[in-house]
Amino acid sequence: MWNSIAKTTNKKIIRMSQVIVITTALIGITQTTMAGSSVDQLSDCLVQSTTAADKTAVLQWTFVALSAHPDLKAFSQVSPEQKQQLDKKVAQVLQRIIVEQCSAQTKTVIQQEGIEAVGDSFQELGRSTGEEILKNPEVKQQLKGLVRYMDLTKLVTTFLTPDIWNKLGLMGDR
């Protein structure tokens, strides 16, 4: 019985750990903002107007941009030509979306909230793209790799109070 509880607990802890790691990573990369309805409308337009190819280009560009950081350079070998191609590609995507597909929403945001709010509108696009990234099996596998080096016993003893055990369904009525 304890073996069964331990296996169930371990699976739930691994899943919880993955969620915590992913959430922490995403929160560290993005910042949440309080947006007006015009920002929300532009956000919706941006998400609806981007194709899978657009999202891939933005994802690649973001990866390359982040890899320019001194602490990350060693993990990426991107040529200057590749960087330039991605810059051009993403500039075209953003211009098409903002100027052609979401022009009315962009104008409204600038008039009502200011130019900085246009950048805030991209938060939702970043979030939805991030969610898609995390669905990738290779990414999931990489994230699981982190968990094997964590001391799950410490996590359990630190965070799993009897109340939480009950909520997880691990301590039923006996």
Q: How confident is the model at residue 171 (pLDDT cuts 50, 70, 90)?
A: low
150 falls within a domain: no
Interval 48-79: pLDDT, tens:
999 999 999 999 999 999 999 999 999 999 99
Distance separating alpha carbons of residues 47 and 138, to the nearest angstrom: 24
- Residue 18 inside a domain? The answer is no
151 within some domain? no
pLDDT single digits (tens) 152-167: 888 878 877 778 777 7
Residue 9 has pLDDT above 60, yes or no: no
**Domain annotation covers residue 53:** yes
Looking at residue 101, its amino acid is Q
Query: What is the chain's mean pLDDT, rounded?
Result: 80
> Is residue 91 in a domain?
yes
In whole angstroms, give the CA distance from residue 64 to residue 58: 10
User: For residue 13, what are the contacts with CB-CB under 8 A and spacing of at least 6?
Assistant: 152, 155, 156, 160
How many domains does the chain contain in total? Answer: 1
Q: What's the pLDDT tens digit per position in 82-130?
A: 999 999 999 999 999 999 999 999 999 999 999 888 888 888 888 888 8
- 51 is a domain residue: yes
- CA neighbor of 61 nearest in space, from 30, 36, 34, 92: 92
Q: Which two tokens stand for residue 20?
A: 């915590």
Residue 29 lies in a domain: no
Residue 154 is assigned to a structural domain of this protein: no
pLDDT at 24 over 90: no
Q: Range of 41's domain?
A: 37-131
